[in-house]
Structure 1
Amino acid sequence: MDRSLKVISSLIFIHCSEEDIYLQFVLQKLSRKLLIKMEYIHMKGGDEDTSYARNSTFQRNLMSKSSSKLEEAVRKVVLLCLNQKTLISSSIGVADLGCASGPNAFILLSDIIHAINKICSSDEIELLPELRLSLNDLPGNDFNSIFASLPDFYSTIKPDNGGIGGCFVSCVAGTFYGRLFPRRSLHLVHSSTSLHWLSQVPPELQNSGEHLNKGNTYISKSSAECVREAYLRQFQKDFFSFLRCRADEMVPGGQMVLSFIGRVSPDPAAPEAAQAWEILAQALITMASRGKLEEEKIDAFNAPYYAASAAEVEAVILQEGSFAADCLQEYEVRWDQGFHDDGDQSRVLMTKGQRFGRMARAVAEPMIEWSFGFGEDDMDELFQVYDNLVDDHFAGAGAAAPYFINLHLSLTRKDN
């Protein structure tokens, strides 16, 4: 659609009346809005101190909590291929959706390969299958770092080191709320810490002509009911699209393992779902009081994010109808979980607020940079304020440390 708009605007520019030039301006703005929906929601690339690659231990811990379910899903895929007598004659298609960059992307692939080797060895399967491993994220993701790391990854899975029969890694850029792969080409789909991101800010909050969620960056206690309903509708639409697209791409009996931030409370503004965003709003308001940005920009900003409840997730699965839910679990994950598990001694003396702020910055900086136009100095100042507010929040919480709720789903593609 974006390309079509550019072509149309180029044709319109040939006619130079005021109306035509105005129409071209509108089309260019529309084209930019369409790009922004995808381009500004990605993790911070590179390998510097504030990059996602250096600040994703929290996400790695969430992935590890799904390791047993992932191995169980791999076993089901291997047995499925054995029953269909396709384990050796054709390859197994695996996709990791929302892979980001850094070491986490390859940890998952290594875990899958290890699980297949373990299962095939225990079942005395001599000829090991070939794997098509696809890493997906939005076009703005730092795929260059993934490509640069591929030689090292391949060296760890050579056949003479007990590796699989063949492994072929590819990167696929695009939104997982649309089709990414050929029909019935995938046996296993995985996604971790991604599906809480929406495809866009709910349109009702962007196109109403007024700021319906003034002073907030996400749903809060002060948000109107129409704001809460708009976020829920956007989640329902997006998750339905996600499931429908995967249903087209997966073989019957294929397995899907999903993990993302959700909530237990029926209230979408509960601290477990909204506290981190409320602290960001406070930090932005502080920056506005210092003359670093206009308050209207804060009023206009709404995060493309939704922490769904298990009931909301189940309702969409039932509505879409292509998957059977084998498992749906919810568990608490403390904000400070895994802070000292990355082996980086330079961070041991950092406060909890600083460690959490680094993770939050690695996740949100591209979105904040585009939305508020912050340069490096202003971004540093914003997250200094944020870090201090998070430290205050930890101090006020006492022994009851703040936490997220992580939802884990294991799904099987039905035969329909």
Structure 2
Amino acid sequence: MEVQQILHMNGGNGETSYACNSKLQKLVITKAKPVLIESISDLYTTNLPPCLRVADLGCSSGPNALLVISEIIEAIDQICHQLNRNMPEFQVFLNDLPSNDFNTIFKTLPSFHEQLKKEKGEKFGPCSITGLPGSFYDRLFPSSSIDFLHSSYSLHFLSQVPPMAESNKGNIYLVKTSPPSVLKAYLEQFQKDFSLFLSLRSKEITPGGRMVLTMLGRRSEDPFGKECYFWELLSKSLIDLVSEGLIEEAKVDSFNLPFYMPSTKELEAIVCAEGSFYLDQLEIFDINWDTSDDDDNKELISDRFISGQKVAKCIRAVAEPLIACHFGDAIIDLLFSKYMEYVSDHLSRSEGKYVNFIISLRGK
């Protein structure tokens, strides 16, 4: 089955839903906020558009879906107060694949609009919010129609599993034992996809428009670095199920994630070669696997078992639909129970960190 048909976060509001297990993604949005505000402020003060058209690509669902839009509106409100101008109108497009849980987003819109009126007053201009199902590896908007494009934690997902000449035996992502041809396939797929993404957005963005992207990446040029270790632990969990006779070894060998974590050099090279955007900023920051460890006000967490539970729920909310489609639903609970144990054991001996990129681009 094609990635576009099955790639989505766990919907609803249940215990394993993305809505209840997306603190990591919220923290990334918070960390990226200064770059976002700088970019949208520069765009608005330069052009002063009467209607600001914004698109959030890979919006997913849950409490984070409208967070960036709220931050943008707040930033523009402050600028308009400083300039003694009326607020512009807003046209917002929330994009994700058709399998995304858009209904959960739509149910929150009345309260979102009500809160805007309460905070900004009745004179606050229209804010039209539209759901737009479709892949951002295809055209989404008319030419020169979007002023500001945003995407958080989506572009590390590829348009497809890379076509491979050799099996990535026993692994679902890149590890030191992966054949060189597998690494080559992953890199080439990312280069192709990210170049296409930039090319498509360059046609849709207004002259001088801005784009802010965040994604997982790696500090090292080593493609098998420790940044990817959270996927290696999931591979080990699957192999355990093979040894227990619950899934076939061939099933694991034929499953690879449509996912790639680039280095800064790889990203910069693609932006330069594609040529449609100026790269204004590229910042890097780390976040702990257990995002509670990033809370400055918390007491020291010593129970790695609790951390393992949190990390396992986060990864399950993201990866379960892909895994269940390939292996079936029956193994999911046991798989992530084993994964939790591996993560807990790792965090009892070492640290676990996600490396994140914030990329600010300006249309030529």
Which TM class, normalised by the smaller chain length?
over 0.9
1:340-373 residue CA offsets vs partner (Å, 9 max, x unmatched): 97xxxxxx98611000000000000000000111
* Residue equivalent to 1:157: 116
Distance 1:326 1:164, change over 3 A: farther
* Residue equivalent to 1:19: none
Partners in 1 of 2:137 and 2:72 — Cα distance?
24
What SS class does the counterpart of residue 351 from structure 1 fall into?
helix
What SS class does the counterpart of residue 404 from structure 1 fall into?
strand
1:361-387 residue CA offsets vs partner (Å, 9 max, x unmatched): 000000000011123xx2111111000
- Would you say the 8 A contact 2:97–2:134 is kept in 1? yes
Amino acid paired to 1:94:
V
Counterpart check, 1:239 vs 2:194: yes
State the 1:192 CA deviation: 0.7
Counterpart check, 1:384 vs 2:337: yes
Partners in 2 of 1:102 and 1:212 — Cα distance?
36
Counterpart check, 1:226 vs 2:181: yes
Distance 1:218 1:160, change over 3 A: closer
Which one of the candidate residues 123, 147, 172 is aligned to 1:187?
Answer: 147
Distance 1:164 1:325, change over 3 A: farther
Partners in 2 of 1:235 and 1:297 — Cα distance?
24
State the 1:92 CA deviation: 1.2
Which one of the candidate residues 117, 121, 143 is aligned to 2:102?
Answer: 143
Partners in 2 of 1:409 and 1:47 — Cα distance?
31
What SS class does the counterpart of residue 157 from structure 1 fall into?
helix
- Would you say the 8 A contact 1:57–1:339 is kept in 2? no
- Would you say the 8 A contact 1:285–1:298 is kept in 2? yes
* Residue equivalent to 2:298: none
Partners in 1 of 2:100 and 2:147 — Cα distance?
25
Partners in 2 of 1:317 and 1:407 — Cα distance?
14
What SS class does the counterpart of residue 357 from structure 2 fall into?
strand
Counterpart check, 1:293 vs 2:218: no
Partners in 2 of 1:362 and 1:57 — Cα distance?
11
Partners in 1 of 2:360 and 2:294 — Cα distance?
29
RMSD: 1.8
Partners in 1 of 2:184 and 2:269 — Cα distance?
15
Which one of the candidate residues 55, 66, 75 is aligned to 2:32?
Answer: 66
Amino acid paired to 1:334:
N
- Would you say the 8 A contact 1:117–1:164 is kept in 2? no
Q: Comparing both chains, which one has the higher relative contact order based on Cα–Cα distances under 8 Å and sequence gaps of 6 or more?
A: 2
Which one of the candidate residues 63, 85, 92 is aligned to 2:52?
Answer: 92
Partners in 1 of 2:136 and 2:120 — Cα distance?
34
- Would you say the 8 A contact 2:287–2:294 is kept in 1? no
Amino acid paired to 1:213:
N
Question: Counterparts in 2 of 1:211-360, with a 5 A limit?
Answer: 211-272=166-227, 274-338=228-292, 351-360=306-315
1:113-158 residue CA offsets vs partner (Å, 9 max, x unmatched): 1111011111111x22111111111111000101111111111112
State the 1:337 CA deviation: 2.0
Amino acid paired to 1:360:
I
Amino acid paired to 1:392:
D
What SS class does the counterpart of residue 360 from structure 2 fall into?
strand
- Would you say the 8 A contact 1:263–1:309 is kept in 2? yes
**Identity of aligned pairs, percent?**
44
Distance 1:333 1:160, change over 3 A: closer
- Would you say the 8 A contact 1:113–1:164 is kept in 2? no
Which one of the candidate residues 67, 76, 83 is aligned to 1:116?
Answer: 76
State the 1:159 CA deviation: 7.2
Partners in 1 of 2:222 and 2:196 — Cα distance?
24
Which stretch of structure 1 is more off in the superposition, 60-69 or 329-338? 329-338
State the 1:81 CA deviation: 2.2
Amino acid paired to 1:137:
D
Partners in 2 of 1:189 and 1:255 — Cα distance?
6
What SS class does the counterpart of residue 308 from structure 1 fall into?
coil
Question: Counterparts in 2 of 1:7-18, with a 5 A limit?
Answer: none
Partners in 1 of 2:141 and 2:4 — Cα distance?
18
Partners in 2 of 1:76 and 1:354 — Cα distance?
41
Amino acid paired to 1:352:
S
Counterpart check, 1:410 vs 2:360: yes
Partners in 2 of 1:98 and 1:271 — Cα distance?
26
Structure 2: segments with no counterpart, 5+ residues? 296-301
* Residue equivalent to 1:50: 16
What SS class does the counterpart of residue 196 from structure 1 fall into?
coil
1:52-81 residue CA offsets vs partner (Å, 9 max, x unmatched): 000000110001011111111111221232
- Would you say the 8 A contact 2:288–2:294 is kept in 1? no
* Residue equivalent to 1:37: 3
Amino acid paired to 1:48:
G
Following TM superposition, where does structure 1 have runs of at least 4 consecutive aligned residues deviating by more than 6 angstroms?
A: none
State the 1:161 CA deviation: 3.3
Counterpart check, 1:394 vs 2:347: yes
State the 1:177 CA deviation: 1.1
Which one of the candidate residues 119, 122, 131 is aligned to 2:90?
Answer: 131
Partners in 2 of 1:368 and 1:164 — Cα distance?
45
1:303-334 residue CA offsets vs partner (Å, 9 max, x unmatched): 10000001000111011111000101112221
What SS class does the counterpart of residue 279 from structure 2 fall into?
strand
Larger radius of gyration: 1
Partners in 1 of 2:87 and 2:76 — Cα distance?
9
Scaled by the length of structure 2, what TM-score is found?
0.95
Q: Tell me how many residue pairs correspond in the alignment.
A: 358
- Would you say the 8 A contact 1:61–1:338 is kept in 2? no
Which one of the candidate residues 302, 312, 322 is aligned to 1:367?
Answer: 322
Partners in 2 of 1:238 and 1:277 — Cα distance?
21
